[in-house]
Amino acid sequence: MTEELKQEMAGQEYDASQIQVLEGLEAVRMRPGMYIGSTSKEGLHHLVWEIVDNSIDEALAGFASHIQVFIEADNSITVVDDGRGIPVDIQEKTGRPAVETVFTILHAGGKFGGGGYKVSGGLHGVGSSVVNALSTQLDVRVHKNGQIHYQEYKRGQVVADLEVIGETDRTGTTVHFTPDPEIFTETTEFDFDKLNKRIQELAFLNRGLRISITDKREGQEQTKDYHYEGGIASYVEYINENKDVIFETPIYTDGEMEDITVEVAMQYTTGYHETVMSFANNIHTHEGGTHEQGFRTALTRVINDYARKNKLLKDNEENLTGEDVREGLTAVISVKHPNPQFEGQTKTKLGNSEVVKITNRLFSDAFSDFLLENPQIAKKIVEKGILAAKARVAAKRAREVTRKKSGLEISNLPGKLADCSSNNPAETELFIVEGDSAGGSAKSGRNREFQAILPIRGKILNVEKASMDKILANEEIRSLFTAMGTGFGAEFDVSKARYQKLVLMTDADVDGAHIRTLLLTLIYRYMKPVLEAGYVYIAQPPIYGVKVGSEIKEYIQPGANQEVELAAALERYSEGRSKPTIQRYKGLGEMDDHQLWETTMNPEHRLMARVSVDDAAEADKIFDMLMGDKVEPRREFIEENAEYSTLDV
Ligand code: TSJ
């Protein structure tokens, strides 16, 4: 309590309730932000709404029809209404006139008189006493019972008792206040556009209300007067003013259930943009809430029901989605609730759960009646939704194509893939061939009908150390996944494999073994289902061929017994007229196309080893060892594999 107040109290008898009053308004001045949100420009304008809301309530109660707001030349505000006038009789509890209590007791505004409900009140739920506390001066004139009752306050404190200052032939309340620059340190200047915008909105939200704003400040004198018999239907028309609409008059419905009134106005534009605005007790619920939820559900259901009943949607066609039926929609939903619960980050989400079913039922009934009574409009609405659904499906498809292009789908087959002509994965084979020269031989030697060749060059990426996007950025790896058509990562789908044989064809030397290990590791880690399905093979180019004349009679595979097998074969063919000769094969690159076909690719002669998951796991371990930080095991591996690969798969 200030010294000033204490001194005042010392000279006068105050009862307990009056001490509370003084302390209450003093608290408002101490922490204004707690009552009006902030003391910035926002808070300053909030004062106007705290006052205007009372007149709106009087209008909603059915007693006021005209509200005027003036920005006075000195930046003070006057609000005038033609309601019953704030009661001036002495209240039992306080022994003071009701109007004085309104301005001097925190939270007392509008709570007396009973009946109806306080619809407005802003986000902070405070009243006129707060405005009084934060104004250097405030005066009220109540026109009631043929008399003009007057009282003035300074920084919330009563200047003099309520007095009669004249006669009148009307009723109503006029409040005039000057915001305190000690509180509003940022600015005390009102923004006409800001007040005007909200005043127009209040006019839309309160059908039939006349509300005006007048700027009396020098050089910017102007008046805006609003009065919408259509209420929120006019709001929808206003929003759609410069848009093409699919029917002229907005659909409008209002209803009441359990003391909750619900109004909905809506109109479709020919465009795609959705504008759904909702309000609860004239407060814009930016975050939506239960009223919007009820509306959306009803809109979707009613349109689908109508479309089905009228065969606009066939039995085999899917329902329109909420998004479909809201394309091009402009809608305003306004509910008035005796006890609104505001939730969400900015307290602009209506939380009252009963509002879902009330809004749903009231709107559903009205809207389905409307569709029945206006079949041409109904047809247009349904057709617009169907068009939106088609566009949605097409857009999804387009997105998938885009994803395929940027990703690893078959629409973007790698340039160096020599694909086969068959589309039957059960019979097709993909050869991964090390090196360009072997790749060239394989391409010309293969059976184009069912064999595809993907040459890869050099060492591929260390998939263990690389991040997912690095792996996906690697050209060799991308080529492999793209050619296989299986997708990658979470989207991997073995059933999409374009080949049910994936054949690794690498040289029988240490580099070949290394590359094969890398490939197996990649497959093990990123294509495991392909391994599990048994699709992965390793080509087994022979080390020797046993030739009689120009014909190759037998191939000898590399291995520990290769010399014994060669001798046995020579034995078998030495009985004939011409002596068998030995053909020795080195790397893949040393075979011509015909030889490569005959020895390694022709299903009639070739040997291929199917790779099991365990084999690949082993390769993966070897890979870890090769790529790991330890030098010793790596050298051992390379020495052991110097001759040819002994990776037993
Ligand atoms: F907020 C305010 F107090 F400053 C204020 C109130 C400011 C303005 C511009 C208007 C009003 C206001 C209050 N306008 N109309 C009313 N009505 C009543 O307070 C009222 C009148 C009669 C009865 C009754 O039951 O007879 C009840 C009420 C709440």
pLDDT for 573 equals: 86
Query: Which contacts (CB < 8 Å, 24+ apart) does range 239-247 have?
Result: 239/275, 239/330, 239/332, 240/267, 240/269, 240/330, 243/269, 243/270, 243/271, 243/330, 244/269, 244/270, 244/271, 245/269, 245/270, 246/270, 246/328, 246/377, 246/380, 246/381, 246/384, 247/374, 247/377, 247/380
Which residues are CB-contacts of 105 (< 8 A; sequence separation ≥ 6)? 21, 24, 94, 129
Kindly give the distance from the C-alpha atom of residue 489 to the centroid of ligand 1, in angstroms, as a whole number: 67
Task: Enumerate the H helices of 374-453 as residue ranges.
Answer: 375-406, 436-445
Kindly give the distance from the C-alpha atom of residue 432 to the centroid of ligand 1, in angstroms, as a whole number: 86
| Any ligand 1 atom below 6 A from CB of 58 | yes
DSSP percent split of the chain into helix, strand, coil, nearest 5: 40, 20, 40
Going by alpha carbons, the residue nearest to atom 24 of ligand 1 is: 113
Instruction: Please state, in angstroms and rounded to a whole number, the distance separating the CA atoms of residues 255 and 271.
Output: 29
pLDDT for 124 equals: 33
The answer to whether 167 is annotated as binding is: no
pLDDT tens readout for residues 544-553 = 888 888 888 8
Q: Using alpha carbons only, how large is the chain's radius of gyration in Å?
A: 43
Atom of ligand 1 nearest to the CA of 114: 25
Locate 268 and state its tokens: 């479709």
Q: Is 528 exposed, middle or buried (0-12, 13-18, 19+ CB in 10 A)?
A: middle
- The string of DSSP codes covering 551-584 is EEEEEE--STTHHHHHHHHHHHHTTSSSPEEEEE
Residue boundaries of the structural domains of the chain: 25-227, 231-395, 416-541+585-613
Can you name the CATH fold of 416-541+585-613?
Rossmann fold (3.40.50)
**Residue 324 pLDDT greater than 50, yes or no:** yes
| Any ligand 1 atom below 6 A from CB of 128 | yes
User: What is the model's pTM?
Assistant: 0.63
% of the chain at pLDDT higher than 70: 85
Atom of ligand 1 nearest to the CA of 115: 25
Pocket probe for ligand 1: among 84, 143, 145, the residue whose CB has the most ligand atoms within 8 Å is 84
Phi, psi of 144 (to 5 degrees): -160, 140
Kindly give the distance from the C-alpha atom of residue 88 to the centroid of ligand 1, in angstroms, as a whole number: 10
pLDDT for 382 equals: 97
Instruction: Please state, in angstroms and rounded to a whole number, the distance separating the CA atoms of residues 201 and 224.
Output: 12
Kindly give the distance from the C-alpha atom of residue 15 to the centroid of ligand 1, in angstroms, as a whole number: 26
User: How distant is the alpha carbon of residue 428 from its chain centre?
Assistant: 43
pLDDT-wise least confident of 139-148, 473-482, 634-643: 634-643
In 435-548 the beta strands, taken as DSSP E runs, fall at 451-456, 501-505, 536-539, 544-548
**Cross-strand bridge partners of residue 433:** 455, 505
| Any ligand 1 atom below 6 A from CB of 86 | yes
Going by alpha carbons, the residue nearest to atom 19 of ligand 1 is: 86
Nearest to 438 by CA among 216, 597, 574: 597
- Tell me the mean pLDDT in the region 62-77: 98
Locate 195 and state its tokens: 């007040």
Residue whose tokens read 């302390």: 23
Predicted confidence band of residue 510 (pLDDT cuts 50, 70, 90): confident
State the architecture of 231-395 in CATH terms.
2-Layer Sandwich (3.30)
Do residues 105 and 126 lie in contact, with contact meaning Cβ atoms separated by under 8 Å? no
The answer to whether 26 is annotated as binding is: no
pLDDT for 605 equals: 81
Atom of ligand 1 nearest to the CA of 103: 3
% of the chain at pLDDT higher than 90: 59
Kindly give the distance from the C-alpha atom of residue 172 to the centroid of ligand 1, in angstroms, as a whole number: 8
- What amino acid positions are annotated as catalytic residues? 434, 507, 509, 511
Higher pLDDT, 145 or 434: 145
Instruction: Please state, in angstroms and rounded to a whole number, the distance separating the CA atoms of residues 55 and 110.
Output: 10
Going by alpha carbons, the residue nearest to atom 10 of ligand 1 is: 55
Going by alpha carbons, the residue nearest to atom 23 of ligand 1 is: 113
pLDDT tens readout for residues 186-223 = 999 999 999 999 999 999 999 999 999 999 999 999 99
pLDDT for 645 equals: 36
Nearest to 65 by CA among 210, 244, 169: 210
Instruction: Please state, in angstroms and rounded to a whole number, the distance separating the CA atoms of residues 364 and 213.
Output: 37
pLDDT tens readout for residues 522-565 = 888 889 899 989 999 999 888 888 888 888 888 888 777 888 88
| Any ligand 1 atom below 6 A from CB of 175 | yes
What is the overall mean pLDDT for the chain? 86
Nearest to 554 by CA among 599, 593, 588, 592: 599
Kindly give the distance from the C-alpha atom of residue 351 to the centroid of ligand 1, in angstroms, as a whole number: 28
Going by alpha carbons, the residue nearest to atom 17 of ligand 1 is: 86
25-227: in CATH 3.20.190.10: no
| Any ligand 1 atom below 6 A from CB of 173 | yes
Q: Is 413 exposed, middle or buried (0-12, 13-18, 19+ CB in 10 A)?
A: middle
Going by alpha carbons, the residue nearest to atom 7 of ligand 1 is: 51
The answer to whether 509 is annotated as binding is: yes
**Residue 79 pLDDT greater than 50, yes or no:** yes
Q: List Cα–Cα distances, 182 to 30, 135, 146, 154, 425, in angstroms.
A: 11, 9, 38, 13, 82
Residue whose tokens read 């004062």: 47
pLDDT-wise least confident of 100-114, 181-195, 325-339, 629-643: 629-643
**Residue 116 pLDDT greater than 60, yes or no:** no
Is the four-CA dihedral 21, 27, 29, 34 of positive or negative sign?
Answer: negative
Higher pLDDT, 626 or 649: 626
